[in-house]
Amino acid sequence: MTETTLFDGLRFLSDDLRGWPRAWAVLAHRYGDAACRHPVAGEVWQYMGTSGGWHEFRHRALPVELLERAVGCEGWGGPIGPGDCGGWRVYDRVRAESGDFELAPRRDLTEDARPR
């Protein structure tokens, strides 16, 4: 039997694993915040799973001013303008690291959850 690697099949992070806060922190660094909530639609980034060594994310209404930062963008309909809502789906990904699927130390989880 061989050991499972980050490149085998589809896997899912959970909030008790080391990779969860790390992957969301990378999105926050790229976009200014990890949610990027659309002001009208309320859509936010969604974690879709990990495959081929990448943590995959999608956003169904990324604010227009952030579209150029995304890895991939699928659009339909007319041109996208400021304040638009929908008509595109955006994809981004974060490189998976060894240890992302290890349990995070309990103290890390509670410290991150405390309000500041």
Residue 109 has what pLDDT? 47
The answer to whether position 77 is within a domain reads yes
Q: Average pLDDT in the 44-67 region?
A: 89
Q: Average pLDDT in the 11-20 region?
A: 95
Q: Give me the percent of the chain exceeding a pLDDT of 70.
A: 72
Domain count, the chain: 1
The answer to whether position 14 is within a domain reads yes
Residue 116 has what pLDDT? 42
The answer to whether position 81 is within a domain reads yes
**Domain hosting residue 27, numbered range:** 10-110
The answer to whether position 115 is within a domain reads no
pTM of the entire structure? 0.75
- Which residues lie across from 10 on neighbouring strands? 51
Top-ranked range on mean pLDDT: pick from 44-58, 62-76, 102-116: 44-58
The single-letter code of the amino acid at 24 is W
The answer to whether position 5 is within a domain reads no
Written as one string, the DSSP assignment of the chain is: -PPP-TTSSEE---TTBTHHHHHHHHHHHHHSSSS---TTT----EEEEEETTEEEEEESS--GGGGGGSSEEEE-SS---TT--SSEEEEEEEE--TTTTSBPPHHHHHHHHS--
Query: What is the total residue count of the chain?
Result: 116
Q: Give me the sheet containing 10-11, strands edge to edge.
A: 10-11, 46-51, 54-59, 88-95, 72-75
pLDDT category, 35, cuts 50, 70, 90? very high
Q: Average pLDDT in the 8-26 region?
A: 93
pLDDT category, 41, cuts 50, 70, 90? confident
